[in-house]
């Protein structure tokens, strides 16, 4: 069944979009990530203009993150104070990101920027996650599950503007979380992703937050930042396609629920290795596109 998307101005198969949303939702339920890093490149692939894919991707993340946050609210694993600091940074970053995006759209470099961001960040995150989880798997095989908690000492403690974050059990400067939020906000605007795959490691390793509150807090801030990004894209670039978003998120929220059930049956290390492999795969594909000679050197500008 073909559906004409009013903003993207292309006709695509509705079941393809539902399926796409479903698969990404499944993965995001399994791994606890928004799945934006998958959905945006997949939308490019089926012929949705990059600007529309990025803006609509952000809208889709609001839906899947909201669905997941509900579960975390029930378990009380959300640090609201930390979330608000991250959010303040995120909103500033998001505004900056949309501004940069609009500027680059005029210069014709949007595709390059988006692809470069993807390759660099997916590469770093996927690589680190792979190494870390392989080590953890080796360790757990040797001596059974270990519980080692490392608290970040250094920068976060020495900077001014100290705040107490009760739910995380931290007394640190508000500047590092603000900066983490800021950079994730920029990424969210440029890449159409929630930034969970960067936010989660940053919160654990840079801010030293306990793992149990990390995901809930990151979801809390992602919802606000991606919602803000969606609004900015809708008002400045007119690139949010509501029909596309609807199809993706119907598939997505259903897939996410099944994903959570599958995820509960797998071991944490196995999950992380699978996610790392997936991230590296997407990264590799996008990287090759930048390095290999394109089939047509010419392209028509997106405007």
Partner 1 sequence: MRLLASLIAFCLLALPLQAEELVLGLSQEEVRITTRFDGSDILIYGAIKRDLSAVDPEEEPLHVIITVAGPSGPTTVWRKERVAGIWMNTDSVEIDRAPSFYAVATTGPLPDILSETEDLRHKISIPRAIRSVGAPQGIEDAGSFTDALIRIRERNGSYLINENSAELRESTLFDTRITLPANLTEGEYTTRIFVTREGAVLTHEEAPILVRKVGLERWLFTLSRQQPLLYGLLSLALAVAAGWGASTFFQLIRR
Contact between 77 and partner 1 by CB under 8 A: the answer reads no
* Stretch of 61-69, 84-92, 157-165, 202-210 lying at the interface with partner 1 (CB under 8 A): 61-69
**Residue from 26, 53, 180, 227 that binds partner 1 (CB under 8 A)?**
227
Q: How many residues interact with partner 1 (rule CB under 8 A)?
A: 55
Angle at which helix 110-143 crosses helix 175-191, to 10 degrees, equals 120
CB-neighbour burial class of residue 145 (10 A; exposed 0-12, middle 13-18, buried 19+) = exposed
64 binds partner 1 (CB under 8 A): yes
Query: Is 195 strand, coil or helix?
Result: coil
Report how far residue 55's alpha carbon sits from residue 254's, in angstroms, rounded to the nearest whole number. Answer: 22
Site for partner 1 contains 264 (CB under 8 A):
no
**Closest distance of CB 18 from partner 1, Å:** 13
Which of 45, 46, 103, 112 is the binder for partner 1 (CB under 8 A)? Answer: 112
Shortest Å, Cβ 138 to partner 1 = 35
User: What distances in angstroms separate CA 190 from CA 2, 40, 128, 210, 283, one per listed residue?
Assistant: 29, 11, 23, 29, 16
Q: What kind and span of H or E run contains 170?
A: strand 170-173
Q: How many other C-beta atoms are found inside a 10 Å radius of the C-beta of residue 28?
A: 30
Would the CA dihedral through 179, 112, 43, 271 be positive or negative?
negative
Q: Considering only residues 21-60, where is the footprint of partner 1 by CB under 8 A? A: 59-60
Interacting residues with partner 1 between 229 and 248 (CB under 8 A): 230-231, 233-235, 238, 240, 242-243, 245-246
- SS3 of 263-290: HHHCCHHHHHHHHHHHHHHHHHHHHHHH
How many whole angstroms separate alpha carbon 250 and alpha carbon 30? 17
Looking at the Cβ atoms of 71 and 131, the one nearer to partner 1 is 71
The answer to whether residue 253 forms part of the interface with partner 1 (CB under 8 A) is yes
Q: Which two tokens stand for residue 242?
A: 């509501």
Report in angstroms how near the CB of residue 211 gets to partner 1 at its nearest. Answer: 22
Which range in 6-14, 189-197, 210-218, 275-283 contacts partner 1 by CB under 8 A?
A: 6-14
- Closer residue to partner 1, CB minimum distance, 18 or 156: 18
For partner 1, the closer CB: 111 or 132 = 111
Give residues in contact with partner 1 (CB under 8 A).
Answer: 1-4, 6-7, 9-11, 59-60, 62-68, 70-71, 108-109, 111-112, 116, 227, 230-231, 233-235, 238, 240, 242-243, 245-246, 249-250, 253-254, 256-257, 290-294, 296-301, 303
């Amino acid at each position: 069944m073909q559906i004409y998307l009013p903003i993207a101005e292309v006709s695509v198969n509705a079941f393809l979009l539902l399926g796409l949303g479903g698969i990404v939702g499944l993965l995001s339920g399994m791994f606890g990530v928004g799945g934006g890093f998958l959905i945006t490149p997949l939308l490019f692939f089926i012929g949705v203009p990059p600007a529309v894919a990025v803006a609509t991707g952000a809208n889709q993340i609001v839906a899947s993150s909201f669905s997941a946050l509900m579960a975390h609210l029930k378990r009380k694993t959300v640090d609201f104070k930390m979330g608000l600091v991250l959010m303040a940074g995120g909103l500033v970053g998001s505004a900056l990101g949309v501004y940069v995006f609009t500027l680059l759209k005029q210069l014709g470099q949007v595709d390059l920027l988006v692809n470069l961001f993807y390759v660099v960040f997916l590469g770093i995150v996927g690589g680190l996650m792979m190494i870390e989880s392989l080590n953890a798997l080796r360790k757990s095989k040797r001596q059974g599950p270990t519980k080692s908690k490392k608290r970040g000492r250094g920068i976060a403690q020495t900077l001014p503007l100290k705040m107490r974050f009760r739910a995380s059990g931290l007394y640190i400067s508000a500047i590092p979380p603000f900066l983490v939020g800021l950079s994730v906000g920029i990424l969210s605007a440029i890449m159409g992703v929630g930034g969970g795959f960067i936010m989660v490691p940053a919160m654990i390793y840079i801010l030293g937050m306990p793992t149990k509150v990390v995901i809930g807090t990151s979801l809390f801030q992602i919802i606000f930042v991606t919602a803000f990004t969606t609004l900015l894209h809708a008002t400045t670039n007119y690139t949010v396609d509501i029909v596309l978003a609807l199809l993706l998120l119907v598939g997505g929220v259903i897939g996410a629920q099944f994903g959570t059930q599958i995820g509960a049956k797998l071991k944490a290390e196995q999950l992380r290795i699978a996610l790392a492999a997936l991230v590296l795969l997407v990264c590799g594909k996008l990287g090759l596109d930048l390095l290999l000679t394109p089939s047509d050197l010419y392209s028509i500008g997106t405007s």
